[in-house]
Chain A
Amino acid sequence: MAHALLILGMAGVTFLTRYLLIALLGRWSLPRALSRWLSYVPTAAFTVIVVRGTFAPQGEVTLDPCNPYLWGALAAGLVAWRSKNVILTIAAGLGGLWVARVVLG
């Protein structure tokens, strides 16, 4: 299996983050500044994935306004903002992408 090392590495570090403090049973707690910093990591990571998927769907960054993925992202963003519903957001993103592909050729 080509990705065996990748999966084992991911499983290893993930388990470590879970086990470390359970093993220590509360004898050590995270510094407050670090725990506050960590709460911004998901927002940052999600944004990176969105921006890459939108502006570099084929790997190269493009700022072309005729990029249909850009319009899919705008539709998804609008629906996410109004509804806070993930399923509706995915539907809007794919719908926006399809419409943009037809309209922009």
Chain B
Amino acid sequence: METMANSANTQLTGGGACEFRRGVRAALPLWLGITPYGLAFGLLGPAAGLSGQATLAMSLLVFAGSAQLIALGLVGAGASPLLVVLTVLVVNLRHLLYAASLAPRLGKLPQRWKLAISFLLTDETYAVVIDRLERAGNGALRYFYLGAGLAIYVDWAASTAVGLAIGGLVPDPTVLGLDFALPATFIGLLAPQLRTRGAWVTLAVAALATLVLAGLPGRLDVFAAIIVAATAGWGVDTWLTRS
């Protein structure tokens, strides 16, 4: 029925169940990249002061890797819950970009589909679905999306649980220096982002602002540093492209 509505795509896309399986398969290679973060998150949650339950609940309900890791860093540093939520909001605003680019391609969706598709929207889901769109067009895209999104969700939840179990075997994470695993992870994530002068300016301003502003109440320093640094980097790149 609706899955075969677009006859132009019938050769490239199958029915709902078939597209769902295709989505799952397309997402499997990404497990390699996602699993280490899930493990790290499960391992580091209790080190930042979250209970095992809270750590797992966060992965099941929030389902946003970098935002969750940043939240851990803030909770560990004693930030107020309001500030953590605000920072998570700013970090996740990029979802607006993904949603804006995907929404017109998904066609008219019933409400329950909109809810499911929204909940499963991550950097990884977006990457897989956009790749699919470029190869095969819009036909039955929602089933492909659902398969890819659920495959990523299951991996994220499972690797968090495994990380928690492994962490339970290590009595004090700071003795092994595991509290540094999170900053080290972010150093690895930063490297590929430093492609423009503005990105370097963002890095420098964020570092300086963090040191200078350290000690503002409620970890307001973190939020202020992010806003100031992003604005500086954006300003420099905008100015460079104009002149």
> Are B230 and A52 closer than 8 Å at their CB atoms?
no
Query: Number of B interface residues, CB 8 Å?
Result: 94
Question: Does any Cβ of B come within 8 Å of A103's Cβ?
Answer: no
Contacts of B66 in A (CB 8 A): 42, 45-46
Interface string of B98-131 (1 = CB under 8 A from A): 1110111010110000110111010000000000
Question: Does any Cβ of B come within 8 Å of A66's Cβ?
Answer: no
Complex Cα distance A51/B187, Å? 10
Majority secondary structure, A binding face = helix
Interface string of A65-105 (1 = CB under 8 A from B): 00001001100110011001111111011100110010000
Shortest Cβ distance from B62 into chain A, in angstroms? 5
Majority secondary structure, B binding face = helix
Contacts of A29 in B (CB 8 A): 100
Shortest Cβ distance from B64 into chain A, in angstroms? 5
Q: Select B207's contact among A13, A47, A63, A85, beta carbons within 8 Å.
A: A47
Interface string of A8-30 (1 = CB under 8 A from B): 11111111111111111110011
Q: Which residues of B contact A (CB under 8 A)?
A: 36, 40, 50-51, 53-54, 57-58, 61-64, 66-71, 73, 75, 77-78, 81-82, 84-85, 87-100, 102-104, 106, 108-109, 114-115, 117-119, 121, 176-194, 198-199, 202-203, 205-207, 209-211, 214-215, 222, 225-227, 229-231, 233-234, 237-238
Sorted from nearest, which 4 A-B pairs have the closest CB atoms? A93-B184, A53-B183, A89-B188, A86-B188
